[in-house]
Every structure is written in structure tokens, then in C-alpha cells.
């Protein structure tokens, strides 16, 4: 029921008839009531690229659970990283980030941040279904959450992903800006985390500052009494868009 409402809210995003649909960036937080235990979720995207050994080892040493969004591309290219994750499935939940890391927007010549979307719905379905199959084949566990390449989704794509049986994982705190943020900026962003937040960061760029910034920021959150949960243990709720500020 909650999922149905979530999808309804997302698909009501207006767009002018005849115009190209406007993609929505999906922001979510934990749906469970916020108690004294200050729950937060750490999600890590494994888009393509490499395995950030320092980051995963830090999480293992500090017993910090995380939800990993992996593409088939990443899983195929990083057998060592996958073996470490598989040895710690008590900490890590692996979910679906697609087959080839393509944004969930539909239409030729459309793109998000320069990354081309899908030519049609058939290709979108393939991206989602093959991504899920790759995760299940790699870990033995079928995923239930989907996150596309850029966090932006067409209303039609949102409905298709729902029909395929996957919940869309948004986020509320962008910790590393696609693994481009510097260490100090990552620390600052994590200092502002509130109970119920869903943090997004990246584990596919070991040369970035992500591992270093997250190590400091996550240690701070642990000391501040935050408890990390995985998405297979909770549900998410949509954060309504703020009304645009009126121009003076």
C-alpha cells in the first residue's frame, strides 16, 4: 500500500501535453518512525569502474552496514571486490543499479548530465531485469530495490520499474557528489546528517577522496550515536519537493 502511494505521488508529477516528460530526481528518507536510535542508511553506488578497497575495509572494521547498488558492468569487472562483499553479507545488502548504468529516461536524443537515456521502454526493462539477474547470480540473493544511473527518472520509467516489482531507492544526503567531492566537503556533508537520512556515496573510484572523507564523517556519526540500517531492513518514503521560492 505504501509503495502504491509512493508510485502515485511520483507519477503525478505534471508535464505539459505533447512536451517531453520532465525527469524527476527522487529524494527519499527512511519511512520507519524515528525513535531514539537515530537510524540512517548508507548507500554506496558501484556504477562501473573499480573497487574501493579502503572504503569497504573501513566499513568492515567498524561494522557499519551498507546497501550497495551494483551494476552488472561493475560485478563483471570486479571479482575481487565482489568476493570481499560476499564474505560479508551480514553487513552488506547488494541491490540493483542496472545492467549498463543507463538513466531511467526514455526517448532517443535524451540524456541526463550527458549520459544518454533509453531509446524505448523495452530497453529500460532490459536494464532493470538484467541488472537484477546479475546481482542474484553474483550473490545468490534477489534484489528488491532499484536505483538508476543518475537519480533522475521519467514518470513512465517509474511506473515500469514498479510493474517489474522493484522499489526505487532515492536518497536525501549526497555525500560525495559522484565521487568528485573533496575530503573536507564530504566530512561537512556528513556532519549535517539527521535521523532518517539516506546517504549516497560511491565505492567505484578508489582514486577519489570518497573513502577518506567517509571514514572521518562516518566515525563522527557513530560517535554521535547513529545506527546504520540496510534497505532490506526498512522502507523509504518520498520527501516532497519544496515549493519553488517566489522571486522578489
Residues near Zn ion (CB under 5 A): 45, 47
Question: How many residues can be counted in the chain?
Answer: 248
The residue number whose beta carbon is nearest to Zn ion equals 47
In terms of CB distance, is 45 or 154 closer to Zn ion?
Answer: 45
Give the integer Cα–Cα distance in Å for 97 and 70: 5
In terms of CB distance, is 150 or 172 closer to Zn ion?
Answer: 150
DSSP assignment, residue 70? E
Q: Residue 71 Cβ, how far from Zn ion at the closest point, in Å? A: 7
Burial of 245 (0-12, 13-18, 19+ CB in 10 A): exposed
Q: Residue 45 Cβ, how far from Zn ion at the closest point, in Å? A: 4
Q: Which of 153, 92, 93, 91 is nearest to 128 (CA)?
A: 153
In terms of CB distance, is 96 or 139 closer to Zn ion?
Answer: 96
Q: Residue 32 Cβ, how far from Zn ion at the closest point, in Å? A: 26
Q: Residue 220 Cβ, how far from Zn ion at the closest point, in Å? A: 25
Grid coordinates representing 167 are 522499489
Sign of the Cα torsion 85, 89, 92, 96 reads positive
Q: Residue 214 Cβ, how far from Zn ion at the closest point, in Å? A: 16
Extended beta strands in the chain, E state: 24-25, 28-30, 39-46, 66-70, 92-96, 111-112, 115-116, 145-146, 152-153, 167-168, 173-174, 198-202, 227-229, 236-238
In terms of CB distance, is 45 or 162 closer to Zn ion?
Answer: 45
Grid coordinates representing 248 are 522578489
In terms of CB distance, is 95 or 196 closer to Zn ion?
Answer: 95
Q: Residue 101 Cβ, how far from Zn ion at the closest point, in Å? A: 6
Question: Can you give the C-alpha Rg of the chain in angstroms?
Answer: 17
In terms of CB distance, is 39 or 95 closer to Zn ion?
Answer: 95
Q: Residue 100 Cβ, how far from Zn ion at the closest point, in Å? A: 11
In terms of CB distance, is 131 or 196 closer to Zn ion?
Answer: 131
DSSP secondary structure string, 116-183?
A: E-BSSHHHHHHHHHHHHHHHHHHHSS---EE--SSSEE-HHHHHHHHHTT-EE--BSEESSTTTTS-H
Longest dimension (CA), the chain: 57
Amino acid at each position: 500500500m505504501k509503495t502504491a502511494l509512493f508510485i502515485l505521488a511520483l507519477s503525478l508529477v505534471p508535464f505539459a501535453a505533447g512536451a517531453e516528460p520532465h525527469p524527476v530526481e527522487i529524494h527519499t528518507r527512511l519511512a520507519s518512525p524515528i525513535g531514539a536510535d537515530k537510524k540512517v542508511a548508507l548507500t554506496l553506488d558501484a556504477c562501473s569502474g573499480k573497487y574501493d578497497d579502503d572504503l569497504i575495509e573501513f566499513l568492515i572494521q567498524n561494522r557499519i552496514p551498507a546497501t550497495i547498488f551494483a551494476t552488472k558492468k561493475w560485478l563483471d569487472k570486479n571479482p575481487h571486490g565482489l568476493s570481499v562483499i560476499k564474505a560479508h553479507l551480514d553487513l552488506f545488502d547488494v541491490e540493483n543499479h542496472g545492467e549498463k548504468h543507463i538513466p531511467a529516461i526514455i526517448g532517443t536524443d535524451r540524456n541526463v548530465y550527458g549520459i544518454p537515456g533509453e531509446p524505448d521502454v523495452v530497453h529500460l526493462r532490459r536494464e532493470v531485469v538484467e541488472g537484477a539477474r546479475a546481482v542474484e547470480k553474483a550473490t545468490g540473493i534477489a534484489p528488491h530495490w532499484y536505483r538508476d544511473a543518475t537519480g533522475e527518472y521519467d514518470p513512465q520509467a517509474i511506473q515500469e520499474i514498479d510493474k517489474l516489482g522493484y522499489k526505487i531507492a532515492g536518497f536525501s544526503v549526497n555525500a560525495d557528489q559522484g565521487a568528485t567531492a573533496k575530503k573536507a566537503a564530504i566530512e561537512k556533508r556528513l556532519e549535517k546528517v539527521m535521523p532518517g537520512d539516506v546517504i549516497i556515496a560511491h565505492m567505484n573510484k578508489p582514486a577519489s577522496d570518497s573513502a577518506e572523507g567517509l571514514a572521518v564523517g562516518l566515525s563522527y556519526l557513530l560517535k554521535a550515536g547513529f545506527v546504520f540500517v540496510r534497505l532490506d531492513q526498512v522502507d523509504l518514503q518520498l520527501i516532497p519537493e519544496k515549493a519553488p521560492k517566489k522571486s522578489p
